[in-house]
Amino acid sequence: MRERFKEYLEQLQSKNLLRFLRTVESDQGPEIIFEGKKYLNFSSNNYLGLANHPYLKQAAIEAVEKYGTGSGASRLITGSMSLHEELEKKIAAFKGTESALIFNSGTQANMGAIPALVGENDFIFSDELNHASLIDGYRLSKAKIEVYRHGDVGHVGALLAAPPNKGVASSAPTQISPIDGRSQGSPLRIIITDSIFSMDGDIAPLPEIMALAKKYDCLVYVDEAHGTGVFGKSGKGVVEHFGIDPKNHRLIQMGTLGKALGSFGAYIAGSKDLIDFLINKARTFIFSTSLPPAVLAASKAAIELIEKDPSHREKLWENVRYFSRVGAQFIAPTGMMNHAPTSPILPIIIGDAKKTMEVAQQLFEHGIWATGIRPPTVPEGTSRIRLTIMASHTKEHLDRCLEAINKLFNK
Ligand SMILES: *Cc1c(COP(=O)(O)O)cnc(C)c1O
């Protein structure tokens, strides 16, 4: 058995794909400590800098005092506490939906909700760069999967228009399923997409996707892991950014609480029927101990903060604009930036995995923590340095990172 483990690891090593952990000895601020030394943090998804914010910390401490450390059971047993209900109400109000449901993480939300929504007679239309947890959700669902080219609305439209998907509906007799209330005769079709692509930082063409959903009568499941708290006039996400009606009955919004919101967990927001359906059908919801009080209170505090104080979001975007304006001067000419910066995620595409890890190591030696990203997280030949900007970066932090990159790429 040990041979088997070793062989696998050696194979990875020989392809420069071996991964290892680095232990951070501080909080998740713009400067993090590793082996007693300070590094500038350019890899965190803590976009708004809330993960160590006093307001969230205080809320978590108070929740522990009042409700203790654990929830003791899954939601359907005794683990549905006041804070779960308060947070779900808060999320629904924030997102402008009828209802919301907390999941223990984004991965659990996607791996629970997708197989609950679609089964073997149904169809999933998926962007080729969707997050791994969405892909794992499809695999569990047994639905037929049509992968479309990244962000290519024309391609989704062509897939939706083409047989065999089209013909199936009319041939089978309509029967209402006792389990999910859906008409068994008509396969469900669902378009699934990240709103902001996690490794590329570009934005999904959501308005066009919603139009296709209307035209072809399907649902849209949008993963706002990187949109929530960052996009839209009031930080509600990409759905708000595009002015899409959050109550649109075709729309299912998923998002996470562990990135810009500085806490942990995830949610699905939509109609009350959808939420009641998921409570009864999503296995990762049903069969897992619910989130503990401290985490719930921190998430709720994060949304309160985002609602009453736009300064974190404004500072984040100011930083993104500054960094990309200065950085573009020397990164863009190298052809290593694959799109104009649209989000706090700024990938520098290097291609080769080995070269990418060398660049990451050189940046590390300059005191910059900027993780190299390799397959299978990104497609073969597109290894990259994925930089992320935070509201808590000072101009001096940004300049130091820019200088280090400039030195490396223009030597
Ligand atoms: C991070 C991420 C997830 C997973 O969320 P966790 O709460 O970290 O499990 C899901 N989807 C996307 C697009 C992500 O970036």
Residues 157 and 181 in one domain: yes
pLDDT at 376 over 70: yes
- Single out the residue in 291, 308, 325 at which a domain terminates: 308
pLDDT one-digit tens code per residue, 313-341: 999 999 999 998 888 887 776 667 666 67
106 lines ligand 1 (CB under 6 A): yes
pLDDT (mean) for 338-364: 90
Residues 399 and 272 in one domain: no
Task: Assess whether 14 carries a catalytic annotation.
Answer: no
Mutate to test the pocket of ligand 1, among 150, 256, 373 (most ligand atoms within 8 A of CB): 256
Task: Assess whether 234 carries a catalytic annotation.
Answer: no
225 lines ligand 1 (CB under 6 A): yes
Residues 282 and 373 in one domain: no
Q: What is the pLDDT of residue 177?
A: 47
* Structural domain for 365, as ranges: 16-45+310-409
Q: What is the pLDDT of residue 327?
A: 87
Closest ligand 1 atom number to CA of residue 194: 13
Residues 190 and 208 in one domain: yes
Residues 83 and 192 in one domain: yes
Q: Is residue 151 domain-resident?
A: yes
Q: What is the pLDDT of residue 182?
A: 52
Residues 202 and 249 in one domain: yes
Q: What is the mean pLDDT of the chain?
A: 93
pLDDT (mean) for 112-139: 97
Residues 138 and 179 in one domain: yes
pLDDT (mean) for 1-28: 94
Residues 186 and 65 in one domain: yes
Q: What is the pLDDT of residue 333?
A: 67
Q: What is the pLDDT of residue 341?
A: 73
Number of domains in the chain: 2
226 lines ligand 1 (CB under 6 A): yes
Whole-number Å distance, alpha carbon 221 to ligand 1 midpoint, is: 14
Whole-number Å distance, alpha carbon 274 to ligand 1 midpoint, is: 21
Express as a percent the part of the chain with pLDDT over 70. 92
Q: Is residue 396 domain-resident?
A: yes
Residues 355 and 295 in one domain: no
Q: What is the CATH number of the domain that holds 316?
A: 3.90.1150.10
Choice among 35-39, 184-188, 190-194 with the minimum mean pLDDT = 184-188
- What would the 3-class secondary structure string for the chain be? CHHHHHHHHHHHHHCCCCCCCCCCCCCCCCEEEECCEEEEECCCCCCCCHHHCHHHHHHHHHHHHHHCCCCCCECCCCCCCHHHHHHHHHHHHHHCCCEEEEECCHHHHHHHHHHHHCCCCCEEEEECCCCHHHHHHHHHHCCEEEEECCCCHHHHHHHHHCCCHHHHHHHCCCCECCCCCCECCCCCEEEEEECECCCCCCECCHHHHHHHHHHHCCEEEEECCCCCCCCCCCCCCHHHHCCCCCCCCCEEEEEECCCCCCCCCEEEEECHHHHHHHHHHCHHHHCCECCCHHHHHHHHHHHHHHHHCCHHHHHHHHHHHHHHHHHHHHHHHHCCCCCCCCCCEEEEEEECHHHHHHHHHHHHHCCEECCEECCCCCCCCCEEEEEECCCCCCHHHHHHHHHHHHHHHCC
Whole-number Å distance, alpha carbon 185 to ligand 1 midpoint, is: 33
Assign 164 a pLDDT band (cuts: 50, 70, 90). Answer: low
Express as a percent the part of the chain with pLDDT over 90. 87
131 lines ligand 1 (CB under 6 A): yes
Task: Assess whether 198 carries a catalytic annotation.
Answer: yes
Residues 80 and 68 in one domain: yes
- Single out the residue in 308, 327, 361 at which a domain terminates: 308
pLDDT at 103 over 60: yes
Q: What is the pLDDT of residue 296?
A: 98
